[in-house]
């Protein structure tokens, strides 16, 4: 006997939809299966299966920055380098691995 299904209609930003579908396609997961998995996780977790909160710091998104904001951010980074307020990437990754127990 076939499992009954229900239709779901949702409005999604086109760019978000495309990016998510591209990732799911790469993983070999049909969108309907991903949505079904998401709903099952909501049931199992008795809420959203991930933390929802406002980030503590301002995240930089170059695609949403004006040219002036981008230049300001790049200049700040350059000044940090000149002032020695930087760490080698290897140290940063080593610290992360240590903190995460990897």
Give the pLDDT confidence of 67-88 residue by residue, as tens digits.
998 999 899 999 999 999 898 8
Distance from C-alpha of 101 to C-alpha of 78, rounded to nearest angstrom: 32
Using the CB atoms, write b or e for 30-53: b if 16+ within 10 Å: eeeeeeeeeeeeeeeeeeeeeeee
Residues 33-61 have a mean pLDDT of 87
pLDDT value, residue 57: 67
- pLDDT averaged over the chain? 89
User: What number of CA atoms fall less than 13 Å from residue 52's CA on the CB side?
Assistant: 3
Query: In this model, does residue 58 exceed pLDDT 70?
Result: no
Q: What's residue 13's pLDDT?
A: 94
Confidence category of residue 9, pLDDT binned at 50, 70, 90: very high
Among 4-8, 17-21, 53-57, 87-91, the minimum mean pLDDT is found in: 53-57
SS3 23: helix
């Amino acid at each position: 006997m076939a499992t009954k299904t229900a239709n779901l209609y949702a409005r999604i930003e086109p760019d978000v939809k495309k990016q998510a579908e591209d990732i799911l396609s790469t993983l070999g997961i049909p969108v309907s299966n991903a949505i079904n998995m998401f709903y099952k996780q909501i049931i199992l977790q008795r809420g959203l299966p991930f933390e929802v909160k406002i980030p503590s710091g301002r995240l930089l998104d170059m695609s949403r920055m004006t040219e002036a904001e981008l230049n300001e951010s790049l200049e700040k980074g350059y000044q940090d380098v000149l002032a020695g307020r930087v760490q080698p990437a290897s140290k940063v990754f080593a610290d992360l691995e240590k903190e995460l127990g990897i």
